[in-house]
Amino acid sequence: MKVRIVSGVNEDLLKEVREKVKTYLKEVVDDFVEVDGILSFTYGSVTVNVEVVPWHRDDVLVKVFSYLAENAQLSDDLMRTLLEMNARFPLGAFAVSMGDSVMYRYSIAGANLDLNEFVAAVYTVATVADSYDEFVREYGGGSGRID
């Protein structure tokens, strides 16, 4: 079977998956807020964010992410440590975003999203981010929770 990936945005699918994500999130956490299409909740000392974005005509991405520190000193040592830690985690990855922010993120395809897969993504990001935010701030400086 040949699969063709065609560019474009499937607005109906985007809306459908956003609603599914909201329903799933209500099953996973007690309370969340939505600002500019990003759903957020607090877990321990971090804020976990969920965003559904276009990918291609037949699918969307569900991005789950948490910022661990902003304005971090991104030394070679810190970057190497984060990359080595990425090799140990089976799901998700540490990343650097604009403003020298360190984050943990995990993206999954949304067209066939199920609750188990969604919970795995949310749980992974929440627990890893909450476990390593202080380490990243101590190691690389920077400030805490980015809301």
Q: Give the tens place of pLDDT for each residue, 122-135.
A: 999 999 999 999 88
* Tens-digit pLDDT profile for residues 25-80: 999 999 999 999 999 999 999 999 999 999 999 999 999 999 999 888 888 888 99
pLDDT(102) > 50? yes
Which one is predicted more confidently, 147 or 118? 118
pLDDT(142) > 60? no
The pair of three-digit structure tokens given for residue 31, joined into one six-digit string: 């309370």
For residue 2, what pLDDT is reported?
A: 72
Distances (CA, A) of 52 to 2, 87, 90, 116, 118: 26, 26, 22, 17, 12
Torsion of CA 110, 28, 122, 101, to 10 degrees: 110
DSSP readout, 64-102?
EEEEEEBS----HHHHHHHHHHHHH-SS-EEEEETTTEE
* Tens-digit pLDDT profile for residues 5-28: 788 889 999 999 999 999 999 999
- Are the C-beta atoms of residues 62 and 69 closer than 8 Å to each other? no
SS3 assignment, position 5: coil
- Are the C-beta atoms of residues 47 and 67 closer than 8 Å to each other? yes
